Amino acid sequence: MQTDDNDDPIWCAVQAEARAEIETEPVLATFLQASILDHPSLENSLAFILATKLSNPILQLTSVTGLISEALESDPDIRAAIRDDLQAVKDRDPACRRYSIPLLYFKGFHALQSYRVAHWLWNQNRKMLALMIQSRVSESFAVDIHPAARVGKGILIDHATGIVIGETAVVGDNVSILHQVTLGGTGKELGDRHPKIGEGVLISANATILGNVSIGEGAKIGAGSVVLGDIPPHCTAVGVPAKVIGHPHAPKPALEMNHRVASDSDGEMS
């Protein structure tokens, strides 16, 4: 997966960040060299980083690296999504000031990119391999995303611990999801049974959305809410069960990352 640095500004920035960090923190030199600087492209670096986290004594590092590389080489949409996801983290997470930080350290980013590999395998009818990746991601990152789920690009999964996304869930582009969020079913029914999340939605920590319900574009789901029915576009929903109380100030709350909520009756938008 050879890439010209001049054609890939994010990869160019990642390499520059790694070199600068080696100058200030030489103890990280071997780690940064092996994780970033030894690789010709962002895809190669990511494949190595994910494989080191997902491999085990039976699933050997070289085999997992090759499997991940195969998916990344085969699907330009995954390669584009990787960059959109990195940009999303850098733009929306105030704790992230460099592209290299989520690439190296953020398990939400790692889990999401591992899901993308598993989803590619699922669509290739290599379902046992896809489920193996799902299982290792759950064990390694405490994130459980079914490989059949459909997740867009420009996604921020912040903190990530405890996230569950079910088999028939759909997540649109430019969505932000906090830790302990569940996009689940309501029982043992078969078929289309998981939530559909529109573009630009913000789902705050510990929110639970159950069933084949629609969360409209630009909606905001408050922390700890339990959503059991459809939420219209550009509405704020909170509570157990969740009810619409107002409208987000921003058209795409996921980009603003403002988790405060207030009802329209309070004289301000939430």
Check if the beta carbon of residue 78 is closer than 8 Å to that of residue 120.
yes
Q: Are residues 189 and 134 in the same domain?
A: no
Whether residue 130 is predicted with pLDDT greater than 90 in this model: the reply is yes
Domain edge (last residue) among 97, 117, 143: 143
**3-58 per-position pLDDT tens digit:** 445 689 999 999 999 999 999 999 999 999 999 999 999 999 999 999 999 999 88
**49-83 per-position pLDDT tens digit:** 999 999 998 889 999 999 999 999 999 999 999 99
Residue range 171-193: average pLDDT? Answer: 96
Whether residue 2 is predicted with pLDDT greater than 70 in this model: the reply is no
Of 155, 146, 189, 194, whose CA–CA distance to 175 is shortest?
A: 155
Q: Residues, the chain, total?
A: 270
Residue range 95-117: average pLDDT? Answer: 97
Task: Give residue 1's pLDDT.
Answer: 46
Task: Give residue 172's pLDDT.
Answer: 98
Check if the beta carbon of residue 246 is closer than 8 Å to that of residue 263.
yes
Q: Are residues 7 and 136 in the same domain?
A: yes
Question: Cα–Cα distance between 154 and 172 in angstroms, integer?
Answer: 9
Q: Are residues 112 and 154 in the same domain?
A: no
Structure confidence at residue 189 as a pLDDT band (50, 70, 90): confident
Can you name the residues that pair with 238 across neighbouring β-strands? 243
Domains held by the chain: number? 2
Domain edge (last residue) among 90, 110, 143: 143
Q: Are residues 111 and 209 in the same domain?
A: no
Q: Are residues 200 and 133 in the same domain?
A: no
Q: Are residues 138 and 160 in the same domain?
A: no
Q: Are residues 233 and 153 in the same domain?
A: yes
Which CATH number covers residue 72?
A: 1.10.3130.10
Share of the chain above pLDDT 90, in %: 91
Q: What is the DSSP letter of 252?
A: S
Whether residue 186 is predicted with pLDDT greater than 60 in this model: the reply is yes
Which CATH number covers residue 252?
A: 2.160.10.10
Task: Give residue 5's pLDDT.
Answer: 54
Compute the mean pLDDT over every residue in the chain, rounded to the nearest whole number.
Answer: 95
CB neighbours of residue 267 within 10 Å: 7
Amino acid letter, 129: L
Whether residue 264 is predicted with pLDDT greater than 80 in this model: the reply is no
Q: Are residues 9 and 126 in the same domain?
A: yes
Q: Are residues 243 and 181 in the same domain?
A: yes
Which residues constitute the domain of residue 161? 149-270
Residue range 215-242: average pLDDT? Answer: 98
- Could you write out the DSSP letters of every residue in 163-190? EEE-TT-EE-SS-EE-TT-EEE-SSS--
Domain edge (last residue) among 143, 173, 194: 143
Q: Are residues 30 and 135 in the same domain?
A: yes
CB neighbours of residue 27 within 10 Å: 7
Q: Are residues 43 and 115 in the same domain?
A: yes
φ/ψ (deg, to 5) at 125: 65, 25
Question: Cα–Cα distance between 49 and 35 in angstroms, integer?
Answer: 6
Q: Are residues 187 and 258 in the same domain?
A: yes
What's the token pair of residue 9?
Answer: 């500004």
| Full-model pTM | 0.94
